[in-house]
C-alpha cells in the first residue's frame, strides 16, 4: 500500500490511473478506522481497480465547541488496518495543503442540511460538502463509498454530487454494529465503561420502534414517545433529536407511510452518537 | 462544429476526449458573442486540442432587479461566430438540465466577492462560482479562458479553482476594445446612440488616471477625483464605483504602489458597464 500526503502527488497519481483506464474508488474517512470503515474499503475493493482511502480530520466540519482537538488519531494503526482490508493508496494530507493561507471557498447544500444534525451542528454540513468536493477533485474517483450511519450526510453528498454535476457514483454501505448492536463509530472510544453499556439504548430504541411499526403502530408521536422514554431512562443519556422522516427528502412525518427513516442523535455523557433505521428495510 | 445541449452527452464526450489524451479548453460565455469572446476562442484554439464554448445565460448570477430577461440571446448567430473563430463544440444546456427540481447547492468564495461589484451585486459572484464549478465538472477542461474585463470575476474563479483543488489552468485574456476604446460587452447592445458616445468616458477616465500616474501622481483620492469628475460630466452617467486596488487581493489602496488595478463600474443610462486597467501594465 502506498501513502500519499501531497495533494499534487495524489492528483497526478489519479490522472495517471485514469489515463490507464483504471476505475478509482474513494473511501473518505477521518481515520481511527474501525470495522465500519473496513467494510467500506472491502466494498470499494469489489467495485474498483484502485481503492483510495483518505484520512483527514477536517477542522471545518467541527463546531467551535466540538471535539476537533480530542478526535482520536492513529495513522500507523489506520495504515495497517486499511492495508489489511485491501486498500491501495492511503491519502493523508496536511491542513496546510488542504486549507492554505488565503483559503476562502465553501460548498453548501441548502435544504437537506437544515434539520436533524443541522440544528445542533449548523456549520457541520458545509464543512463536510466542502471537504468532500475537494477530495473528489483531488482523488478523481469514479465511485465514492459512504456509510449509512451518517444518513443525512450521505443524502447531502448525493445532492451535492448531482447538483454540481460531479461524474461520481455515490454508494452508501450498510451500518456495521458491535455484537450488542451499537453502531460502530470512532467516537465510541470516548465512552466510559458504564456509558458504553448504556449506549446500546440508541439502537435498542430503534428496534423497539420497528417492532411497534411491525405490530401496526402508524402514529409517529406515539412511536417517538416510546423511544424517548427508553432513552431517557438511562442516567447518562440526553436526547439531541429523535425523528421520523421521509427517506427521500428528510422532511418530518406524522404518520408511518412510504420509505421512512428513523433517525436519532443522543448524547451519552459528553459523547454524541447517531444512528438510524429504514422502514421498510 | 458540434452543438451539445445535454449535460450527460457533454460529460460523456469530455470523458472520451480525455481518454484519447486530448487537451480540452473551455470558454464559458453567456452568448451574444462579440470580438472579445472570439479572441478567447482563438486563444483557446492555440492552447488546446478541443475548444468547447459554453453558452448559458445563468439565472443565478443576476439579481432580482437585473437584466436576466432582457439579456440578449441569439444562438444561431453565436453558433456561426464561434465556428468561424475555430470552436469545436458549442455547449448550450437548458435551465432544466442545469438547475433541475430540488437543486440546492452553491459554491461561494468569501472575501474577494465582498467589495467592488459585490457591493451592488451581492449574490452575483455566488451565481458565477456555482455555474463555473458546474461547467468545469461537465466539460472537464484542462484550461479555461476568461476575459480580463471582468477582473474581479477572474480573480474569484482563480481562487475557487485553487481552493477546491480543481485541476484546471485559469487563463485570463486581455480586454478587447472598440476602435474608440469602449471595452467590448454584450451589454453595449443596450446603449442608445447618445449613450454609446458617452460610454467612451469609462475607458478615457482610466487613461487619464494612467497618464497622471505616469506623470508622478501617487495619491489615490486625487486620481479618483479626476476620474469621477470626468465621468460625472456626462449627462447619462452614474458611478457605481471607482477604486484603486491591490491587484493581488483587491484591497483598496490609498497610494499607488506595487501592482495596482484601477477598476470601475458606471451606469450609462440604465446600462451598467465595467472596465479596468493595470498599473504597471
CATH of the domain at B228: 3.30.1300.10
Interface contact A165-B108, CB threshold 8 A:
no
Q: What is the tens place of the pLDDT at every residue in A16-69? A: 999 899 999 999 999 999 999 999 999 999 999 999 999 999 999 999 999 999
Residue of B nearest to A11 (CA): B167
In a domain, A181, yes or no: no
Residue A60 DSSP one-character state:
G
Asked if B27 and B140 sit in the same domain, the reply is yes
B-interface mutation test, from A137, A158, A160, A250, most B Cβ less than 10 A away? A137
pLDDT class for A200, splitting at 50, 70, 90?
Answer: very high
Asked if A168 and A220 sit in the same domain, the reply is no
> What is the predicted pLDDT for the residue at A234?
97
| pLDDT, mean of residues A276-281 | 95
Interface contact A105-B107, CB threshold 8 A:
yes
Asked if B10 and B43 sit in the same domain, the reply is yes
pLDDT class for A158, splitting at 50, 70, 90?
Answer: very high
Catalytic residues of B: 37
Q: Can you read off the three cell numbers belonging to residue A34?
A: 474501525
Asked if B168 and B190 sit in the same domain, the reply is no
Asked if B87 and B145 sit in the same domain, the reply is yes
What 3 state SS string does B25-81 have?
EEEEECCCCCHHHHHHHHHHHHHCCEEEEEECCCHHHCCCCCCCCCCCCCHHHHHHH
Asked if B117 and B167 sit in the same domain, the reply is yes
Query: Which of B131, B150, B173 marks a domain boundary?
Result: B173
In a domain, A281, yes or no: no
> What is the predicted pLDDT for the residue at A181?
98
Asked if B121 and B255 sit in the same domain, the reply is no
- Round the average pLDDT of chain A to a whole number and report it: 97
Chain A residues with CB under 8 Å of B94 CB are none
In a domain, B180, yes or no: no
Asked if A128 and A217 sit in the same domain, the reply is no
Asked if B55 and B168 sit in the same domain, the reply is yes
Q: Using CA atoms, how far apart are residues A59 and B35, in angstroms rounded to an integer?
A: 46
Interface contact B106-A108, CB threshold 8 A:
yes
Q: Which domain holds residue A83?
A: 2-173
The minimum CA-CA distance between A64 and chain B, rounded to whole Å, is 19
Q: What is the tens place of the pLDDT at every residue in A203-253? A: 999 999 999 999 999 999 999 999 999 999 999 999 999 999 999 999 999
Asked if B164 and B45 sit in the same domain, the reply is yes
Q: Using CA atoms, how far apart are residues A272 and A190, in angstroms rounded to an integer?
A: 10
In a domain, A11, yes or no: yes
> Residue A106 sits in a domain of what CATH number?
3.40.50.620
> What is the predicted pLDDT for the residue at A19?
87
Closest CA to A133 of A170, A102, A87: A170
Asked if A130 and A196 sit in the same domain, the reply is no
Q: What does each of the 281 residues of chain B score in pLDDT, given as a tens digit?
A: 999 999 999 999 999 999 899 999 999 999 999 999 999 999 999 999 999 999 999 999 999 999 999 999 999 999 999 999 999 999 999 999 999 999 999 999 999 999 999 999 999 999 999 999 999 999 999 999 999 999 999 999 999 999 999 999 999 999 999 999 999 999 999 999 999 999 999 999 999 999 999 999 999 999 999 999 999 999 999 999 999 999 999 999 999 999 999 999 999 999 999 999 999 98
Q: Using CA atoms, how far apart are residues A281 and A30, in angstroms rounded to an integer?
A: 28
Q: Using CA atoms, how far apart are residues B27 and B52, in angstroms rounded to an integer?
A: 6
> What is the predicted pLDDT for the residue at A281?
83
SS3 content of chain B, % helix, strand, coil (to 5): 40, 25, 35
Q: Which of B11, B134, B159 sits opposite A104 (nearest CB)?
A: B159
How many other C-beta atoms are found inside a 10 Å radius of the C-beta of residue B12? 13
Query: Which of B173, B200, B225 marks a domain boundary?
Result: B173
Q: Let me know if A37 is a catalytic residue.
A: yes
The minimum CA-CA distance between B18 and chain A, rounded to whole Å, is 8
| Torsion from C-alpha of B242, B247, B249, B254, nearest 10 degrees | -50
In a domain, A178, yes or no: no
Q: Do residues A220 and A273 touch, judged by C-beta distance below 8 A? A: no
Query: Which of A173, A203, A230 marks a domain boundary?
Result: A173
Q: Which of A34, A37, A124, A142 is catalytic?
A: A37
Q: Can you read off the three cell numbers belonging to residue B1?
A: 462544429
The minimum CA-CA distance between B165 and chain A, rounded to whole Å, is 6
Interface contact A105-B102, CB threshold 8 A:
no
In a domain, A53, yes or no: yes
Chain A residues with CB under 8 Å of B97 CB are none
Chain B residues with CB under 8 Å of A170 CB are none
Asked if B192 and B236 sit in the same domain, the reply is yes
In a domain, A58, yes or no: yes
Domain count across chain B:
2
What is the CB-side half-sphere exposure of residue A154 using CA atoms within 13 A? 21
Residue of B nearest to A99 (CA): B163
End-to-end CA distance of chain A: 36
Find the length of chain A.
Answer: 281
Q: Using CA atoms, how far apart are residues A175 and A154, in angstroms rounded to an integer?
A: 12
Q: Which of A11, A107, A164 sits opposite B167 (nearest CB)?
A: A11
Which ipTM was obtained for this model? 0.95
Amino acid at each position: 500500500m502506498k501513502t500519499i500526503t501531497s495533494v499534487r502527488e495524489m492528483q497526478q497519481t489519479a490522472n495517471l490511473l485514469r489515463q490507464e483506464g483504471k476505475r478509482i474508488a474513494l473511501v473518505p474517512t477521518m481515520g481511527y478506522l474501525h470495522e465500519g470503515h473496513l467494510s467500506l474499503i472491502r466494498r470499494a475493493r469489489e467495485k474498483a481497480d484502485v481503492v483510495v482511502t483518505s484520512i483527514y480530520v477536517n477542522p471545518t466540519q467541527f463546531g467551535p465547541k466540538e471535539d476537533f482537538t480530542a478526535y482520536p488519531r492513529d495513522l500507523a494503526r489506520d495504515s495497517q488496518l486499511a492495508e489489511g482490508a485491501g486498500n491501495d493508496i492511503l491519502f493523508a494530507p496536511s491542513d496546510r495543503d488542504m486549507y492554505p493561507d488565503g483559503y476562502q471557498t465553501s460548498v453548501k447544500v441548502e435544504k437537506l442540511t437544515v434539520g436533524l444534525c443541522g440544528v445542533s451542528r449548523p456549520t457541520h454540513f458545509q464543512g463536510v460538502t466542502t471537504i468532500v468536493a475537494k477530495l473528489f477533485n483531488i482523488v478523481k474517483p469514479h465511485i465514492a463509498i459512504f456509510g449509512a450511519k451518517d444518513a443525512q450526510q450521505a443524502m447531502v453528498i448525493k445532492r451535492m454530487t448531482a447538483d454540481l454535476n460531479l461524474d461520481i457514483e455515490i454508494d452508501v454501505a450498510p451500518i456495521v454494529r458491535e455484537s450488542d448492536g451499537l453502531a460502530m463509530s470512532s467516537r465510541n472510544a470516548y465512552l466510559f465503561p458504564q456509558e458504553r453499556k448504556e449506549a446500546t439504548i440508541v439502537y435498542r430504541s430503534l428496534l423497539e420502534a420497528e417492532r411497534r411499526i411491525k405490530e401496526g403502530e402508524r402514529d409517529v408521536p406515539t412511536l417517538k414517545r416510546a423511544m424517548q422514554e427508553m432513552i431517557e431512562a438511562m442516567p447518562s443519556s440526553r436526547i439531541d433529536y429523535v425523528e421520523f422522516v421521509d427517506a427521500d427528502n428528510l422532511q418530518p412525518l406524522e404518520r408511518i407511510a412510504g420509505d421512512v427513516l428513523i433517525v436519532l442523535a443522543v448524547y451519552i455523557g459528553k459523547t454524541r452518537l447517531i444512528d438510524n433505521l429504514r422502514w421498510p428495510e
